[in-house]
Chain A
C-alpha cells in the first residue's frame, strides 16, 4: 500500500512518466472525472459557497496553509504553503518540473461543469505557493485574467473558460489556456 501520506510522491513519479509520453492532459481529465464524485454536486448546487466548504475540509485534511476569501461573486484561494508541492520537493526522487500543473489541470473541468470560472496563477516549481480566483460571473473572471496577464508570465497563468469577449482582448489572448 502506498500510504495516503505518500501519495504525492507516487503522483510525482506518475507525472514524470506521463510527461515523457505527452500524456498529462488526458490523465488530468481522468483525475477530474474521479474527483467529481467528491465535489461536483456541491459546486453545482451551492456555487462558490460549495467550493469554499470543500476547501475548508481539504485545508484541514491536507494540512494546507491556505487562506479562503469569499467576497460576493469572487472566491480567492491563496495557498501560502502547498503541502503537495512541499512533499514533492522533500523527496529523494526529485520533483517533476510540471508538478504544479495538475491542480489547474484537474480542477478546470469541474468548474466548467459547475458553471464557475477559474483564473489560476501557479508561482513556480520551487515555490510552494499559488493563488486561484474563482467566479460565478464570467465578466469578472475575464477582468481578473486581463489584470493578471499583464504582470504574470504566460506559463504560470491558467483559465478554465473560453474567452467570450474577444473585442476587449488582444488577438493573441483569444485561445483557451489550459495546461
Chain B
C-alpha cells in the first residue's frame, strides 16, 4: 500500500518548477549539493518504501513506480523477477511535459531519478542503477543482494 495516496487532479506544471530547481541548485550550490538534496528526499520522504525494502518487501516500490507513471500517462515496462525489478521508461512524462512547455530538460533530470532511487535503497539489501538510453528513455534497475533472502 502506498504511503502517499494521490488520486485527484494532476498539476503537471510542477515538472517545470522541478526543472528550474535542479538547474538552480546545481548552478548556485554545486552538483554535490543537488545530489545530497535528492538523496535525502529519496531517503526521508520515501521512508516507507525504504523500510519495506530493508525487510525484503519491494511491494510499495513496485506500486509507486507503476501508479505514478500510469497516473502521468508515461509509457513504460515494469518487470519483476526474483530479486530484480526492471522499470524501463519509454517516454518520461516529465520530459514530455517540459517539451510541451517549451522548456529544455535540465542536464540533471536523470540524476534526479538515480539519486532518488539510491536514497530509497540506502541501508537496505537493494541497489539501484539508472541507464539512460536517450531523452525520456531510461532503464531503472533495482537488484537485491543474493545473500539477503527474506527471513
Contact = CB atoms under 8 A, between A and B. Distances in A.
B44 A21 contact: no
Given A1-B94, A7-B18, A34-B20, A21 B29 contact: yes
Contacts of A21: 29
B9 A63 contact: yes
Interface string A21-40: 10100110011001101100
A6 interface: yes
Contacts of B36: 17
A58 B6 CA distance: 17
Contacts of B47: 92-93
Contacts of B10: 4-5, 61
A13 B45 CA distance: 9
Interface residues of B, number: 45
Nearest to B136: A1
B21 A60 contact: no
Contacts of B38: 10
A74 B15 CA distance: 32
A2 interface: yes
B17 A11 contact: yes
B119 to A, nearest CB: 10
Contacts of B29: 17, 21, 23
A76 B60 CA distance: 41
Interface in A75-100: 87, 90-94
B72 A3 contact: yes
A71 to B, nearest CB: 27
Contacts of A61: 9-11, 13
Contact of A13 (B12, B41, B92): B41
B94 A7 contact: no
B148 interface: no
Contacts of A5: 4, 6, 10, 68, 71
Given A6-B45, A93-B44, A1 B93 contact: yes
Contacts of A13: 37, 40-41, 44-45
B34 to A, nearest CB: 9
Given A13-B41, A91-B45, A93-B45, A7 B6 contact: no
Contact of B4 (A2, A6, A63): A6
Contacts of A92: 3, 44-48
A14 interface: yes
A14 B21 contact: yes
B14 A4 contact: yes
20 contacts: A2-B41, A3-B6, A4-B15, A4-B72, A4-B94, A6-B4, A7-B14, A9-B4, A10-B21, A10-B45, A13-B40, A14-B37, A17-B37, A21-B29, A30-B24, A34-B17, A61-B10, A92-B46, A92-B48, A93-B47
Instruction: List 7 A-B pairs, minimum CB-CB distance, nearest first.
Output: A93-B44, A7-B14, A3-B68, A5-B6, A92-B47, A61-B11, A4-B14
